[in-house]
Structure 1
């Protein structure tokens, strides 16, 4: 089975990568496909880095890990990204897939486009996140992953404040952020 892990990834950070490796081991996945959203339906109007920059940071972060891949499907498609469309697209390529989401996303899952179809057709696994509990997970499976207290918001704020992001993101992602002047 292949895991699908979508997100804004603005930027991707070491917490994302550690969780991916944990989930591969816990579920025995063949690999995880990271899917940067073009525009999240829950972040319409929220300013983010360009889709191209976010995709590039994911590519850089996972370049040396054969168990992590990236899909540019949502970015190439453009517009608002709906998870059900991505699941169906990736199922056509890989066959059996599961969806990986954070506890923060699980609390709003019933607001997702065609959420009932997702639950009927795809196993959904919820990853721990600090400050969120595992109540109300009807039809979803909680995973006992470690809590990693790193957030993309924290990283963007640290860059804006001129503070170090060393070890919060992979070294090559840090260089990309600084070279491109992202988050200033």
Structure 2
């Protein structure tokens, strides 16, 4: 079984995430995409107000409608700062009996410039198949409210202009020509807070969960 990992805050998970996972399976032949919500991302400060358990619940709801998608809770259960290197180590052991080839790691273009700062980045690039995905440009309305930390802050706005051909760590990466959906988690949070419509920007079960739990200030 070919496995790919899609990590993130998923605050909340939305149709852009689902479309990306679908394209990874359809275009690159992966059997499963594991959605891995981070406990504490090493590169950004999380927006407060929604718990890790609630973010995981939304991912579980979203994945429940497609057998190719699996919600993986290992980073939240592990707690502390979430490093992809540690997650890959865990997943290789968990799926040892069924894993075919290297695990795929899906990277959005906002992560390209800072990948070299990841824990054991060079080893990770050899250990896994890197999958480079396009990400829509962020409008001023949807500009992330998650504050980049440390060295990542200096690279925060360089994703769209980053030349992947000049990054040796991406020399064997697969470049995905995935569809671009102009939706972001920040945009959805803003819409929920302001009373705007976002019903069709998230899976239907996730929408009901947000409304039912009054997440992001929505009543």
TM-score by length of 1: 0.94
Is 1:158–2:191 an aligned residue pair? yes
Shift of 1:46: 4.3
Residue of structure 2 equivalent to 1:135: 163
Structure 1 stretch 133-142 or stretch 58-67: which is displaced more? Answer: 133-142
Runs ≥4 residues deviating over 4 A: none
Gaps of 5+ in 1: none
How many residue pairs match? The answer is 184
Is 1:116–2:122 an aligned residue pair? yes
Structure 1 stretch 151-160 or stretch 170-179: which is displaced more? Answer: 170-179
C-alpha contact (below 8 Å) 2:49/2:216 kept by paired residues: no
Deviation readout 1:116-153 (Å, 9 max, x if unpaired)? 11112111111101232561343233211111111000
Alignment of 1:85-100 (within 5 A): 85-94=86-95, 95=99, 96=101, 97-100=103-106
- Alpha-carbon distance between aligned partners in 2 of 1:68 and 1:111, rounded to the nearest angstrom: 28
Q: What root-mean-square deviation, in Å, do the aligned CA atoms of Structure 1 and Structure 2 show?
A: 1.4
Gaps of 5+ in 2: 138-159
2:94 partner SS: helix
C-alpha contact (below 8 Å) 1:134/1:142 kept by paired residues: no
Structure 1 stretch 119-128 or stretch 44-53: which is displaced more? Answer: 44-53
Report which of the two structures shows the higher radius of gyration computed on alpha carbons: 2
2:181 partner SS: coil
